[in-house]
């Protein structure tokens, strides 16, 4: 089994490499170097978003690899996301075209709706805010109409698959029931303290695969929230990387705690996208195919789940976010 688990497979047969490089807060100036190291190490899945403001440098780096002949376009799985500001049917094509142009690609492998919440369409280089610092919401967000815009991107060849991120079960069901092209993947926060059991079971029943963001507990969320005027004191402070049980299992395998946290998710058949801009840690996070957690270790790690209390990102991440009628995290899952 240690050698398997290379991919997860979508309902349409498309294969997504199970470990990808996360790039949130990997800024231009560092993301290109991070991607070079990752591609050398064997990563073939890159997770970005219009909102990460790094698609241009990712595109330039990929172009360099393609033109050198070291990789072909079909060797890499590229994911990007529709921003909050693009949350209307006509916004889908507009923002996907911007992403494709920055990435210098004709298509992405997976296009996700980044979040069920919609903002006014002001691209001011960050999150649009009012004079009190609250995000400028567009409360008319209509997921069913937006999904039609997503399907049109598959029809036009700009996205191989389409999916959702940060949607709750109720919202997923609404999209799924209206969909001509079903969502292939759901990307949500998931780690050893927040294992998303109910949402995973719900998605499995609809043949929607799962991708975990924040697999190491997203330690860099706190400075991000502070810099955007969110209330960092209302976010739980967890440190999965120094959990005593995770440490003990890591020592037994001669691995790091990060590697155990990643491997745990892989063995649950969830794709995982750890972010690092540090060359040693990028390599470390990919050296997870040569060991296997035993059923007893998996069971012990499963017992660390705190359920919804383990969620690190909540309505306090951005001021005003929780006031949107489609804010997803007031539902249990």
Query: Shortest distance, CB of residue 67 to ligand NAP, whole angstroms?
Result: 25
Q: Which of 166, 168, 184, 185 binds ligand NAP (CB under 6 A)?
A: 166
Residue 329 CB, shortest distance to ligand NAP, in Å, is 11
Q: Does 281 bind ligand NAP (CB under 6 A)?
A: yes
Q: Are 150 and 117 in contact (CB under 8 A)?
A: no
Residues 213-232 that bind ligand NAP (CB under 6 A): 213-220
* Residue least distant from ligand NAP (Cβ): 22
| Using rule CB under 6 A, residue 278 touches ligand NAP | yes
User: Near ligand NAP by CB under 6 A, which window of 246-254, 277-285, 300-308, 314-322?
Assistant: 277-285
E strand residue ranges, the chain: 7-9, 15-17, 21-22, 45-47, 77-82, 108-113, 159-165, 185-189, 209-213, 271-272
Q: Provide, rounded to whole angstroms, the least separation between the CB of residue 109 and ligand NAP.
A: 14
Per rule CB under 6 A, is residue 242 in the interface with ligand NAP? no
Query: Are β-strands 185-189 and 159-165 bridged in parallel, bridged antiparallel, or unpaired?
Result: parallel
Ranges within 43-82 binding ligand NAP (CB under 6 A): 47
Report how far residue 114's alpha carbon sits from residue 183's, in angstroms, rounded to the nearest whole number: 13
275 touching ligand NAP, by CB under 6 A: yes
Query: Residue count at the site for ligand NAP (CB under 6 A)?
Result: 28
- Which positions ≥6 away from 180 have C-beta within 8 Å? 151
CA dist 145 and 247 (Å) reads 47
SS3 call for 308: helix
Nearest to 159 by CA among 235, 108, 197: 108
Asked if 60 contacts 68 with a C-beta cutoff of 8 angstroms, the reply is no
Beta carbon nearer to ligand NAP, 67 or 319: 319
Instruction: Give the burial class of 3: count Cβ atoms within 10 A of its Cβ; 0-12 exposed, 13-18 middle, 19 or more buried.
Output: exposed
Region near ligand NAP per CB under 6 A, out of 55-63, 153-161, 275-283, 292-300: 275-283
In the 8-state DSSP scheme, what is residue 241?
G
Residues with catalytic roles: 52
C-alpha pair distances (Å), 82 with each of 41, 191, 239: 29, 24, 30
Q: Least distance to ligand NAP from the beta carbon of 21, Å?
A: 8
Per-residue x/- marks for ligand NAP, 177-216, CB under 6 A? ----------x-------------------------xxxx
Binding region for ligand NAP (CB under 6 A): 22-24, 47, 114, 165-166, 187, 213-220, 241, 256, 258, 273-278, 281, 284-285
């Amino acid at each position: 089994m240690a050698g398997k688990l290379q991919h997860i497979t979508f309902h349409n047969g498309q294969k997504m490499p199970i470990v990808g490089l996360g790039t949130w807060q990997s800024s231009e100036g560092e993301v290109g170097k991070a991607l070079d190291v990752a591609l050398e190490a064997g990563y073939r899945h890159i997770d970005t978003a219009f909102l990460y403001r790094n698609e241009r440098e990712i595109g330039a780096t990929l172009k360099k690899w393609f033109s050198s002949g070291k990789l072909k376009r079909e060797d890499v799985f590229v994911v990007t996301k529709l921003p909050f500001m693009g949350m209307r049917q006509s916004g889908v094509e507009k923002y996907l075209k911007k992403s494709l142009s920055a990435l210098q690609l004709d298509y992405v492998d997976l296009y996700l709706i980044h979040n069920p919440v919609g903002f006014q369409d002001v691209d001011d280089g960050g999150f649009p805010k009012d004079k009190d610092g609250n995000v400028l919401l567009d409360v008319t967000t209509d997921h069913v109409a937006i999904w039609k815009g997503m399907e049109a991107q598959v029809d036009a060849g700009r996205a191989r698959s389409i999916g959702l991120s940060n949607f709750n079960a109720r919202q997923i069901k609404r999209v799924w029931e209206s969909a001509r092209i079903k969502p292939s993947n759901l990307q949500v926060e998931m780690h050893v303290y927040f294992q998303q059991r109910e949402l995973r079971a719900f998605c499995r029943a609809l043949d929607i695969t799962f991708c975990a963001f924040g697999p190491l507990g997203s330690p860099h969320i706190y400075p991000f929230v502070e810099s955007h005027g969110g209330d960092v004191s209302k976010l739980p402070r967890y440190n999965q990387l120094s959990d005593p049980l995770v440490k003990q299992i890591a020592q037994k395998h001669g691995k790091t705690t990060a590697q155990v946290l990643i491997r745990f998710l892989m063995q649950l058949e969830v794709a995982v996208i750890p972010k690092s801009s540090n060359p040693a840690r990028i390599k470390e996070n990919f050296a997870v195919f040569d060991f296997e957690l035993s059923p007893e270790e998996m069971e012990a790690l499963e017992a660390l789940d705190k359920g919804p209390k383990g969620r690190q990102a909540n309505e306090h991440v951005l001021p005003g976010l929780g006031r949107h009628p489609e804010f997803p995290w007031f539902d249990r899952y």
